[in-house]
Amino acid sequence: MPRRSRILTSIAVLAVAGLAVAWGMSAPHPLTAAEIPAHQPDIANGKVLFNAAGCLSCHKPGPDLKNVDASLPAGGSPFKTPIGTFYPPNLTPDPETGIGKWTDLEFVNAVQRGISPEGENLIPAFPYTSYARMKTSDVLDIKAYLASLSPVVSPEKQAQIPAPWLLRRGVGLWKHIAFRTDQWQPDPGKPAEWNLGAYIANGPGHCNECHTPRNMFMAFDWSKQFAGGPHPGGEGKVPSLHDLIGRGKYKDASDLASAFQNGEMLGYEDMASGGMGEVQTNLSKLPDSDVQALADYISSLK
Ligand code: HEC
Ligand code: HEC
């Protein structure tokens, strides 16, 4: 073979190998049934976690479901992101348009690995990047709570995003560098209450999604955890959660807990805009002890 065509052949071989590696790396890696713990579901705990995780904020009934109870996650409401508009789907137990027929494994793979039952990568506008760090038993409790709700017929609406297929494979590559799936670990040196707050904030509460800045790969920059920065929605800024008491924003942890519970209603105005109003509404539905634990943890951030 002449020298030039040998070089061309090697380049072609390398390109194909590169594509094959990218193809393999962008494929979803779902959990297997053996990785799902045996668990007796607890619907009451599922309801608490559903509120802590704010599932309803995104999966609320859309404008064409006016007669549907607004507390049901029937889906179809537009959710705008910098890459396009999503219509987070129906989470009620309707067997055809909701998740009535989903297995535990399918549900855990969607919520903790960002993989749909059809085997596609989901876009991390759905904060599975935080839910991955939850206890899987808590995720199964959310499923049990959802199964206890009234079914609503609400067919899925296609997301308005460019090149969905390529984008979803791209998310597969991104997961290799930016997706952390180790479960949240308590700090044995801290009180149980602080650890509960840390779990709520870093797992279900997905506070990092907005309050922790990202690096050039769109991965959380843990060296600046909770330091605030540009809003992931593309507009405005998210404040830092460091030293809220020292900076005089709240008198003490109880004052912060009161802000989480009451928000603007009691004149706490720094929790209203940029999606924080919805987060605060969800937090107000939690048991007092959970809110106080969250406030203890957040007010300890230096
Ligand atoms: C910040 C908004 C947001 C929150 C909060 C949120 N979701 Fe979603 N969810 C989405 C979006 C957007 C999608 C669609 C992602 C896609 O198409 O790639 C989605 C998709 C899903 C899917 C996949 C459905 C399918 O057909 O593949 C499930 C299941 C789901 N969410 C459950 C939940 C649960 C349970 C919670 C709470 C623990 C939750 N979501 C919280 C935005 C959200
Ligand atoms: C959707 C993005 C988003 C998420 C998720 C989010 N926040 Fe926020 N947060 C904001 C924005 C934006 C503000 C500023 C709101 C304002 O000034 O009206 C804010 C404000 C706050 C403040 C007030 C800060 C101050 O200076 O007084 C606290 C405290 C706070 N968030 C805590 C949390 C906690 C705890 C969580 C998780 C349970 C959380 N946030 C989740 C976006 C978010």
Q: Which residues contact 21 (CB under 8 A, 6 or more apart)?
A: none
Which has the higher per-residue pLDDT, 120 or 13? 120
Q: How far is the CA of 88 from the centre of ligand 1 (A)?
A: 6
Query: Cβ(110) to ligand 1 under 6 A?
Result: yes
1 pLDDT more than 70: no
pLDDT in the model for residue 20: 84
Nearest atom in ligand 2 to the alpha carbon of residue 272 is 18
The whole-angstrom separation of Cα 282 and Cα 285 is 5
* Residue with CA closest to ligand 1 atom 22: 110
**pLDDT, tens digit, 9 for 90 and up, residues 197-230:** 999 999 999 999 999 999 999 999 999 999 999 9
Task: Share the mean pLDDT of the chain.
Answer: 95
Closest Cα to atom 1 of ligand 2 = 275
Please report, to the nearest 10 degrees, the dihedral formed by the alpha carbons of residues 129, 133, 139, 141 taken in order: -150
72 lines ligand 1 (CB under 6 A): no
CA–centroid distance, residue 102 to ligand 2 (Å): 33
Picking from 289, 228, 227, the residue whose alpha carbon sits closest to that of residue 254 is 289
Percent of the chain with pLDDT over 90: 89
Count of beta carbons in the 10 Å neighbourhood of residue 139: 24
Q: Is the CB of 48 under 6 A from ligand 2?
A: no
- 267 C-alpha to center of ligand 2: Å? 15
pLDDT in tens, 46-84: 999 999 999 999 999 999 999 999 999 999 999 999 999
CA atoms within 13 A on the CB side of 267: 3
Nearest CA to ligand 1 atom 32: 111
How far does residue 4's CA lie from ligand 1's centre (Å)? 52
User: At 108, is the pLDDT very low, low, confident or very high (cuts 50, 70, 90)?
Assistant: very high
Q: Which atom of ligand 1 lies nearest, measured to the CA of 142?
A: 35
Ligand nearest to the CA of 129: 1
Interval 179-202 mean pLDDT:
97
Instruction: Give the ligand at the shortest distance from the Cα of 57.
Output: 1
